[in-house]
Every structure is written in C-alpha cells, then in structure tokens.
Amino acid sequence: MKNSLLVDKSRMPLAMGIAFVAFTTQFGGGFASGAQIYQYFINYGIWCLILPVLTQGLYALFFWYGMRYAYKHKTYDYRSFSDSLYGKTRHVMSNLYEICYLIMIGTASAAAFATGGSTIETLFGLPYWLCTVIVAAFIFVIALFGTTVVRKCASTLSVLILIGLLLVLVPNIIAQWDNIMDSIGRMSAGEMTVLSQQSGAFGPALWSAVLYFFFQLASVSVMYQHMEPVTDVKQIDRAAIGMFVCNFVAMELSIIGLLAIAFVAELATASVPMLILVQNGVGASVLTPIISLLIILGAISTAVNMISGIVTRCVNAVERRMPTPEKRQQGHLTRNAIFTLIFTFLAFAIAQFGLMTVVSKGYAYLGYAAFITLFIPFVVHAIATRGREV
C-alpha cells in the first residue's frame, strides 16, 4: 500500500474522485464558516430544511449533463465545451462565458484567499498579506501539476472536510438538540432569526436557494477537465449521485447544527457563525482549531479547482496550435506553471484589497451571469436535442 496522503484511484473509484471535486468546489470558506448557509438558507425561515434538496438536486443534474456532454464530445476544457455546445452562437456566447468565468475567478477565488488568509491571521497572528501568500503557495503547488493531482487532492480534502464536519456538528447537534427544536418551532411559527431581514415567505426563500444554485452552476466548467480519464458514462452517472449525496448531507447537517444558534444574540455581530455554535456547545477548545482548519481547507480546495479550470483552458488553447503530440508534451509543465502563476496572482491581488463586500455582491452577479450563459443554454440544448447528445 502506498504511503501517500492523497486519495488515489487505487483506493477510491474515479467516480467518487470526480464527485469530491464537485464537493470541494462548492464547499469553500464561506460554507465552512456557516455564513453562506445563513445568508442563502436559514435567514429565509423554516424552508431552509427542505430547499437543500432542490438546490443540490439541480446542482447534480446540471453537472451530470455538462459532464456527459464533455465526455461524449471530448471537450476537456470550458472553451472547447462552450464552442461545441453553443454552436452557431459560440462567437458571442463563448466570450460571454469567458466573462462569467473571470467573474468567478474574481469572486470565489479571491474570497477563498481572503477567508483562508484571515483565518491563518487569527490563528497565528501573522500579517494578513503573508497569510495570503501562504494560501497562494499551497494553491499554486496543487494546481501546477494538473487535473490528476487536483482530483486526488480534492478526494483527500473532501474526506478530511467531511470528517471535520462530523466532528464539529454531530456532538453539538446532540448537545444542543433542545435549542435546535426550539428554533424550528419558532421559525415554524413565523419568527425569523437574529440575522434575518426577511418575511419568511416561501417565494423569497425559493429564489434565494435557486440563486445559490445559479452561482454554484458557474463552477461546472471546472469538471470538464476531469472527463478525460473517464471510460464509461456509468462513471459519470455514479459521480452525479455521489455529489448529490455528499453535498446534500453536508449542507443539511450544517443547517440543522446552525439552527441551534439561530436566536443567540452574539450571532448578530459574528463573522463565523460556526464558531458561535461551538462556543455555545461542547468541546470549544478542541473544536475551534478544527473549524479553523475546515475553513482553510475549504478555501484552498475551492480556489484550486477554479484556477485549475482556467489554467487547463489556456494551456489547451496554446497546445492546440502545436503540430504534434511531441511538441505539445515539450514544455507542458512550464506552460502550466506560467498560467497557474498568472491566475493565482490575480486572485491573490484582488484579495489584498479586502473586497469582501464587493465579493459578496459578486456572487449575485455571478449567479445572473451563470443563468444567462449556462442555465438557459443547457435547458434549450436538452430540449432541442431531446438529450440525445449526452
């Protein structure tokens, strides 16, 4: 047995590796901290308990469609995928999607840098810029060596994150079960959490959940590069089921746990709701470092997947112009390093401005961009072809 930290194909089926890439793409620092869960789900009332089924169902379905198309048409980066899917409209739509992807790099990746850097700063008291350099170094090294390493790291990080979630949430759900049931009762009666400015109506809750899906859909493009080693569509089918199960369980567990503090006064001024959960529950001295580690791992995993996707697109674009496979192989790692450095630095530079307000607004813009460039084209394509092209 190999003494490797990475969960490789010999230990884990390819389908689960792919599912875990999708998991780590969605599970970022915002999710780990609990802030994203409150912003898009719990703040909208009791509907938070059922809407993750819709959100994660749509997520798995659309990712399944995109991955099946990429596999069948051998489009292993998002530009070749876009040019193929959009057909005659590719000259407009493919370039629109390039803008969508850059918005994603500028929001999700920069947020990952900022969140990871802030957490390290809090833990060790190092200067913020140095903390983001440390995050950047991890991201650069992992993303540098291509999709195989990214997929292995995603598998490893997913296992660590899931274990960490269970360690943090399960004891606190058990210890604070009465508080959770009290919150559910109060929300069922129409009372809203201390963070909420919503009415509790179903319409706004549904729209918030769908908007969450829209901006998560933008990351489907990071999956295409992982279709190259696939040998059977059944692997993609299993991957879609795996990503639904992992993502739904993680989200539902987080929501149930965080309901314990839905009406705690300290939540109003907290930037990390998950930390308030632990401080009001059990094992704070042990679980606080685990939460911090989860946030850092979540931030790094998200940024790695995003940056890897655009690096693959750029490297493929350069290498397609080369006449032979031998020419493409020569200097491949150097080209990978150059583009990885460029986009890692771009996300790092944005994070230095501390644009967390802009970034939080950027998620909404990202959702609208994904609606135009991905959701509508996927639906139109599926109807027009009756699903025959996947």
Residue 258 in domain: yes
Residue 61 in domain: yes
Residue 332 in domain: yes
- Residue written as tokens 């930290």? 5
**Minimal CA–CA distance to 17: which of 142, 139, 150?**
150
The pTM for the full model equals 0.82
Range of the domain at 36: 14-320+328-381
The pLDDT tens digits along the chain (390 residues) read 333 334 444 456 889 889 988 888 887 767 777 888 998 999 999 999 999 999 999 999 999 999 999 999 999 988 999 999 999 999 999 999 988 888 887 777 777 777 788 778 877 888 888 988 898 888 888 877 766 677 777 667 777 877 888 888 999 999 999 999 999 999 999 999 998 989 999 999 999 999 999 989 988 988 998 999 999 999 999 999 999 999 999 999 999 999 999 999 988 877 678 888 888 888 888 888 888 888 788 778 778 878 888 888 888 889 888 888 888 888 888 898 999 899 888 888 877 765 455 555 667 788 889 999 999 999 999 999 988 888
Residue 8 in domain: no
Give the distance from CA 318 to its chain's centroid.
27
Q: Domain of 113: which CATH number?
A: 1.20.1740.10
CA atoms within 13 A on the CB side of 91: 1
Domain tally for the chain? 1
Residue 209 in domain: yes
Residue 1 in domain: no
- Cα–Cα distance between 77 and 310 in angstroms, integer? 8
Residue 211 in domain: yes
**Minimal CA–CA distance to 351: which of 148, 113, 171?**
113
Residue 68 in domain: yes
pLDDT at 209: 96
